[in-house]
Amino acid sequence: MTSILPLKLSNIWFRSREGIPLIKELSLELDAGTRTIIIGPNGAGKSLLLRLCHGLLRPTEGHIKWQNNTIAQHAQAMVFQRPVMLRRSARANIDYALSLHNVAKAERADIIEEVLQRTGMTRQADAPARVLSFGEQQRLAIARAWALKPQILFLDEPTASLDPSASHQIEELIQAIFDQGTKIVMTTHDLGQARRLADEVLFLHRGRLLEQAPAETFFETPHNDLAQAFVKGELLWWKRGEGPRRDPKHAR
């Protein structure tokens, strides 16, 4: 299969219906073979950026291009913060996703068994997906995405509402998917999780990409002063146009 990566974003702007810029002048490149973690305070535009990359939203300005202008819909998958399960069994939820990707019926059963086993969901396979616990639903969402064998997997704060044990299980699954060659792009608020998982970090603040760096560099010697404050765990105050940490480019 032809690689869809790298993904290039050039001078992306995304405005709300009221014209308020939510993503500003953002350019970046996402290469294969790394786990990219997007961090930043609330309202930084992390989830928006994932949705733009995944194609759920169209940028107001700028271009998003996959390698060789490939149509990449079937080579990518996304796991949301709150998984949406269809009103059918866990197994049928995965089967449905495979049917949308035109996977032959004869092949689906094996794929489903494999991902259910890998995610530890075999026992819940025939249970209605909506009666599963939140952690199980998130594992099922990952299994559903995994079954599609994506080249790139977007995860929007997949452990945001989970306890440490369930978060650990999800992190292990993300690592396993990455080990099979899938590019990981994930947002998180959890700096510890970012340290554990990241090969590369994108730091967003108020819709701008302020830093893109290898994880080690970012956590040891972040270049941007807001990123330094964020890594230290300081609160980032939104005093637009005031103080030494103001974003000089901020303009509507």
Does the footprint of other proteins cover residue 238 (CB under 8 A)?
no
Does the footprint of other proteins cover residue 70 (CB under 8 A)?
no
Check if the beta carbon of residue 46 is closer than 8 Å to that of residue 186.
Answer: no
* Position among 14, 66, 80, 218 found at the interface with other proteins (CB under 8 A): 80
Does the footprint of other proteins cover residue 246 (CB under 8 A)?
no
* Position among 24, 35, 54, 149 found at the interface with other proteins (CB under 8 A): 54
Check if the beta carbon of residue 81 is closer than 8 Å to that of residue 157.
Answer: yes
Does the footprint of other proteins cover residue 86 (CB under 8 A)?
yes
Does the footprint of other proteins cover residue 7 (CB under 8 A)?
no
* Position among 8, 128, 189, 191 found at the interface with other proteins (CB under 8 A): 128
The b-or-e profile of 121-158 (16+ CB within 10 A means b, else e) is beebbeeebeebeebbbbbbbbbbbbbbbbbbbbbbbb
CA distances from 110 to 75, 103, 114, 115, 216 (A): 20, 11, 6, 9, 39
Instruction: Find, among 12, 45, 44, the residue nearest to 28 by Cα.
Output: 12
Does the footprint of other proteins cover residue 118 (CB under 8 A)?
no
Looking at residue 59, its amino acid is P
Q: Could you tell me how many residues of this chain bind other proteins (CB under 8 A)?
A: 22
Instruction: Find, among 55, 56, 59, the residue nearest to 24 by Cα.
Output: 59
Cα–Cα distance, 134 to 170 (Å, whole number) = 12
CB atoms within 10 A of CB 18: 5
Q: Please report the DSSP string for 198-238 in residue order.
A: -SEEEEEETTEEEEEEEHHHHHHS-SSHHHHHHHTT-----
**Within 13 Å and on the Cβ side, how many CA atoms surround 3?**
10
Of 56 and 251, nearer to other proteins (C-beta) is 56
Does the footprint of other proteins cover residue 73 (CB under 8 A)?
yes
Of 76 and 212, nearer to other proteins (C-beta) is 76
Task: Kindly state the smallest distance separating residue 53's Cβ from other proteins, in Å.
Answer: 12
Query: Which residue stretch of 10-18, 85-93, 169-177, 197-205 sits at the interface with other proteins (rule: CB under 8 A)?
Result: 85-93
Cα–Cα distance, 47 to 38 (Å, whole number) = 9
Q: Please give the sequence-ordered ranges of beta strands (E in DSSP) within 93-182, or none if there are none.
A: 152-156
Does the footprint of other proteins cover residue 78 (CB under 8 A)?
yes
Query: Which residue stretch of 11-19, 50-58, 204-212, 218-226 sits at the interface with other proteins (rule: CB under 8 A)?
Result: 50-58
Does the footprint of other proteins cover residue 131 (CB under 8 A)?
yes
Task: Kindly state the smallest distance separating residue 80's Cβ from other proteins, in Å.
Answer: 6
Which 95-114 residues touch other proteins, going by CB under 8 A?
A: 96-97, 100-101
Task: Kindly state the smallest distance separating residue 137's Cβ from other proteins, in Å.
Answer: 11
| Binding site residues, other proteins, CB under 8 A | 51, 54, 56, 73-74, 77-78, 80, 83-84, 86-88, 96-97, 100-101, 128, 130-131, 144, 148
